[in-house]
Structure 1
Amino acid sequence: MSGEPPVVRRLDQLPAYLISPNDTVRLAELAGPKQGSGTSVFLEIWEPGGAQPLNSHPDSAEIFIVLKGQATAHSDEHELTLTAGDVLVLQPGSEHRILNTSETDKLYTITVMADDGGFAKLVTDGTPTALTPDEIDTLMQR
């Protein structure tokens, strides 16, 4: 037994981050090494038409659970359409990116990095931003 208390965080109190200042995807760390987990979990929100740069995680599978919106996922030579309710599992080492295909609506995912490998630090060392009241209302169904 660790004796450590469980960690509870409130979505409406979490900061979000841009990995690079001009990114169109914001990430809010839900759980990771700072909370005692070797797996990191994020809320990711893509602006309409937004995308991440092509990226790869050599030692970790990355899982995206699409909560709301539509997207195209590119992984190596594969291209897939994603909609709410889809779960995308990207294999370690795949070169990938996700594009929000809507020009008017945001894309929301819960993203799990099976082996954090420093990813949470990369995110939280980025540019702080905030989740908007509309985003929080959408996620908390207020």
Structure 2
Amino acid sequence: MSGAAPIVRNIADLPGYLISTGDTVVLAELAGPAQGSSASVFLEIWEPGGAQPLNSHADSAETFIVLAGTGAAHSDDAVLPLGPGDVLTLQPGSEHRIVNTSATEKLYTITIMASDGGFASLVTGGTRVPLTAADLGALVSALA
């Protein structure tokens, strides 16, 4: 038996973060090193038309589970459409970004970094922003 107690957190109690000023993607840390995990798991919320900057993770695969909304995954030379129920896995070292292709609806994903590699601290070192009641409602609807 491990001596560590299980951890239960409610999404309504978690803050969101913008990694950089002017970002159009809010991330909420669901699990990561602070909870004793070597992987990190996030709720990501893209504003309509929003996008991540081009980024890469040398030592980690990254998996996105699309809960609601539509988008496009740009990875190296590939561009793939994304919609609810899609599971996208990006290989370590790929240069990628996700774009919300809707002009009116948000894009919601659960994102898993197989090896955190400092990503959770990058996120939580950003600007803290509240998750909105509409975002929490959309998440509950998507998971129902």
1:66-101 deviation per Cα after TM superposition (whole angstroms, max 9, x unaligned)? 000000100000010000000000000000000000
Tell me the secondary structure at the aligned position of residue 34 of structure 2. helix
* One-letter identity of the residue aligned with 1:137: G
Partner of 1:31: 31
Partner of 2:44: 44
* One-letter identity of the residue aligned with 1:25: V
1:37-88 deviation per Cα after TM superposition (whole angstroms, max 9, x unaligned)? 0000000000000000000000000000000000010000001000000000
1:86-141 deviation per Cα after TM superposition (whole angstroms, max 9, x unaligned)? 00000000000000000000000000000000000000000000100011111123
* One-letter identity of the residue aligned with 2:79: E
Partner of 1:126: 126
Tell me the secondary structure at the aligned position of residue 58 of structure 1. coil
Q: Does 1:103 align with 2:103?
A: yes
Tell me the secondary structure at the aligned position of residue 48 of structure 1. coil
User: Structure 1 CA distance, aligned partners of 2:70 and 2:137?
Assistant: 19
Partner of 2:60: 60
Identity of aligned residues (%): 68
User: Structure 2 CA distance, aligned partners of 1:137 and 1:63?
Assistant: 23
* One-letter identity of the residue aligned with 2:94: S
Question: How many correspondences in the alignment?
Answer: 142
RMSD (CA atoms): 0.9
Partner of 2:69: 69
User: Structure 2 CA distance, aligned partners of 1:109 and 1:84?
Assistant: 9
Partner of 2:13: 13
Q: Which piece of structure 1 moves more, 2-11 or 89-98?
A: 2-11
User: Structure 1 CA distance, aligned partners of 2:89 and 2:115?
Assistant: 13
User: Structure 1 CA distance, aligned partners of 2:115 and 2:21?
Assistant: 25
User: Structure 2 CA distance, aligned partners of 1:55 and 1:121?
Assistant: 16
* One-letter identity of the residue aligned with 1:81: P
Q: Structure 1: give runs of 5+ residues left out of the alignment.
A: none
Measured after TM superposition, the shift of residue 30 of structure 1 is: 0.1
4+ residue segments displaced more than 4 Å: none
Q: Structure 2: give runs of 5+ residues left out of the alignment.
A: none
